[in-house]
């Protein structure tokens, strides 16, 4: 298929308009040269900072070489989609910070409170591809949403959508970082957009605020210390020295985003998909710890949370309950937390039992919080590497 340059320019503009009609906040177009990222990616992997996320290393440098992942690719259409719930109040960041300090509250990352973003973005990117096909005929493409070896942040930065913040997430002047990214690899020779420039300046609020010191320095993330990794990606026991630092965060962590000045511009989603479900914006630890496996699967159907399974869900909640006991020791409210933990002292899962035992021990002595030792490394960053 041959399309003239004038028609390609018109097509690129049309693709951006169609993207907005499909609920995307912005569409950008990038070439596929990511060679300058290869050395950093390899160093990050060599340092082991991807932890148990073996998929980060499984494809070698295909992550930085789109044409090796999808032969024939010469352009990447990148898309961002806002996920702040439609009814988020003006002071949502203050509300989130307040809940993070409440020893009885269970905090779930904002992006995970509605429908699974993988499904939403993938379906709408597929619709975008179909609109393009209707216009130009058959063409080569493949859709990705945080589901393959794709350097999402690097491609989005290259396509002008935003810049990599010091926490390794993408930032946008008009929308902060509260959005998802998706990509459409294609063989269409579309005109590319100008890369975005950085605007973090001397700010290092994200680095200072990280509860586990996972952000080792500007643009350097040790995923093994990241609360999102510990509560989502890690399959086994959470390291004992990091448990007190997790606080009441039971799925993901938004701390580096909450303190980022650019998120005063965070935009609310235009889609109902990311509206809060099952009261996940204000649950208690005791309430969620009481869910049976059937409750977990039923209530979280269509949610990204469901992928960690009930066992890891209980593991995370046990840590939150233990940290709550540390803060409430001696207060009447602590009795409910102790009672909840005791219901699972004999849980069939050895991992759950181990975390429950640790949690109950927190009532005996208020141990000073350990500080992890910062290492060296570099991270691609992302919500589930991530981390929508």
Q: What pLDDT is stored for residue 134 in this prediction?
A: 97
Cβ–Cβ contacts within 10 Å for residue 298, how many? Answer: 12
**Residue 372 pLDDT grade (very low, low, confident, very high; cuts 50, 70, 90):** very low
Q: Is 314 exposed, middle or buried (0-12, 13-18, 19+ CB in 10 A)?
A: buried
pLDDT reading at 192 higher than 50: yes
146 is catalytic: yes
pLDDT reading at 62 higher than 90: no
What span, in angstroms and rounded, lies between the C-alpha atoms of 121 and 81?
8
Q: What pLDDT is stored for residue 6 in this prediction?
A: 72
| Averaged pLDDT, 13-27 | 98
Q: Do residues 177 and 171 lie in contact, with contact meaning Cβ atoms separated by under 8 Å?
A: yes
| Averaged pLDDT, 193-201 | 96
Q: What pLDDT is stored for residue 369 in this prediction?
A: 46
- What is residue 61's DSSP assignment? G
pLDDT reading at 388 higher than 60: no
Closest CA to 41 of 387, 384, 385: 385
What span, in angstroms and rounded, lies between the C-alpha atoms of 152 and 78?
8
For the chain, which residues make up each domain, given as ranges?
A: 5-87+114-186, 207-261+276-361
What span, in angstroms and rounded, lies between the C-alpha atoms of 74 and 138?
16
Q: Do residues 382 and 152 lie in contact, with contact meaning Cβ atoms separated by under 8 Å?
A: yes
Q: What pLDDT is stored for residue 61 in this prediction?
A: 84
DSSP 205-261: HHHHH-TT--EEETTEE-GGG-HHIIIII--SPPPGGGHHHHTTEEE---HHHHS-G
Residues 6+ apart with CB under 8 A from 19: 26, 27, 79, 128
**Catalytic one of 82, 146, 193, 281:** 146
**What CA–CA distances, in Å, run from 188 to 74, 106, 137?**
7, 46, 11
Q: Do residues 321 and 341 lie in contact, with contact meaning Cβ atoms separated by under 8 Å?
A: yes
What span, in angstroms and rounded, lies between the C-alpha atoms of 193 and 64?
19
- What is residue 385's DSSP assignment? S
- What is residue 112's DSSP assignment? G
**Residue 53 pLDDT grade (very low, low, confident, very high; cuts 50, 70, 90):** confident
Residues 266-325 have pLDDT tens digits of 999 999 999 999 999 999 999 999 999 999 999 999 999 999 999 999 999 999 999 999
Q: What pLDDT is stored for residue 386 in this prediction?
A: 36
Q: Is 41 exposed, middle or buried (0-12, 13-18, 19+ CB in 10 A)?
A: buried
Q: Do residues 154 and 67 lie in contact, with contact meaning Cβ atoms separated by under 8 Å?
A: no
Residues 224-248 have pLDDT tens digits of 999 999 999 999 999 999 999 999 9
What span, in angstroms and rounded, lies between the C-alpha atoms of 80 and 182?
6
- Phi then psi for residue 115, to 5 deg, are -75, 155
pLDDT reading at 2 higher than 90: no
In this structure, the strands spanning 163-164 and 170-171 are: antiparallel
Closest CA to 210 of 379, 95, 360, 84: 379
**What CA–CA distances, in Å, run from 307 to 147, 296, 310, 313, 321?**
13, 11, 9, 10, 22
What span, in angstroms and rounded, lies between the C-alpha atoms of 199 and 162?
9
Task: Give the 3-state secondary structure of 262-309.
Answer: HHHHCCECCCHHHCCCCCCCCCEHHHHHCCCHHHHHHHCCCCHHHHHH
Residues 113-162 have pLDDT tens digits of 999 999 999 999 999 999 999 999 999 999 999 878 899 999 999 999 99
| Averaged pLDDT, 16-26 | 98
Q: What pLDDT is stored for residue 3 in this prediction?
A: 63
What span, in angstroms and rounded, lies between the C-alpha atoms of 220 and 166?
8
Minimum mean pLDDT range among 31-40, 47-56, 363-372: 363-372
Residues 325-350 have pLDDT tens digits of 999 987 999 999 999 999 999 999 99
Q: How far is CA 267 from the centre of its chain?
A: 17
Cβ–Cβ contacts within 10 Å for residue 290, how many? Answer: 13
Cβ–Cβ contacts within 10 Å for residue 241, how many? Answer: 13
């Amino acid at each position: 298929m041959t399309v003239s340059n004038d028609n390609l320019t018109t097509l690129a503009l049309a693709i951006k308009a169609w993207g907005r009609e499909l609920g995307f906040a912005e569409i950008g177009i990038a070439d596929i040269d990511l060679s300058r990222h290869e050395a950093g990616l390899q160093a990050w992997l060599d340092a082991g900072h991807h932890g148990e996320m073996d998929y980060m290393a499984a494809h070698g440098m295909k992550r930085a070489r789109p044409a090796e992942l999808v032969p024939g690719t010469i352009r990447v259409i990148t898309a961002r989609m806002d996920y702040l719930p439609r009814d988020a109040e003006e002071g949502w960041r203050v509300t989130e910070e307040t809940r993070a300090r409440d020893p009885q509250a269970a905090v779930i990352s904002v992006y995970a409170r509605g429908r699974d973003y993988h499904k939403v973005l993938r379906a709408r990117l597929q619709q975008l591809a179909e609109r393009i096909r209707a216009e130009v005929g058959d063409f080569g493409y493949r859709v990705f949403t945080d589901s393959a070896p794709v350097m999402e942040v690097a491609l989005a930065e290259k396509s002008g959508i935003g810049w990599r913040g010091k926490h390794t997430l993408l930032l946008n002047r008009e929308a902060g970082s509260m959005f998802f990214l998706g990509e459409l690899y294609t063989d269409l020779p579309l005109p590319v957009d100008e890369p975005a420039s950085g605007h973090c300046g001397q700010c290092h609020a994200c680095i200072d605020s990280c509860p586990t010191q996972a952000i080792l320095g500007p643009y350097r993330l040790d995923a093994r210390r990241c609360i999102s990794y510990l509560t989502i990606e890690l399959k086994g026991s959470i390291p004992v020295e990091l448990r007190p630092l997790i606080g009441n965060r039971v799925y993901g962590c938004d701390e580096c985003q909450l303190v980022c000045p650019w998120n005063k511009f965070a935009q609310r989603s235009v889609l109902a998909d990311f509206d809060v479900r099952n009261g996940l914006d204000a649950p208690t630890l005791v309430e969620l710890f009481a869910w049976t496996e059937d409750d977990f699967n039923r209530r979280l159907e269509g949610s990204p949370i469901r992928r960690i399974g009930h066992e890891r869900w209980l593991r995370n909640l046990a840590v939150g309950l233990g940290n709550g006991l540390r803060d409430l020791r001696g207060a009447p409210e602590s009795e409910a937390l102790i009672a909840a933990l005791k219901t699972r002292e004999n849980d069939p899962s050895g991992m759950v039992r181990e975390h429950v035992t640790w949690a109950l021990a927190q009532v005996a002595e208020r141990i000073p919080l350990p500080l992890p030792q910062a290492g060296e490394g570099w991270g691609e960053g992302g919500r589930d590497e991530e981390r929508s």
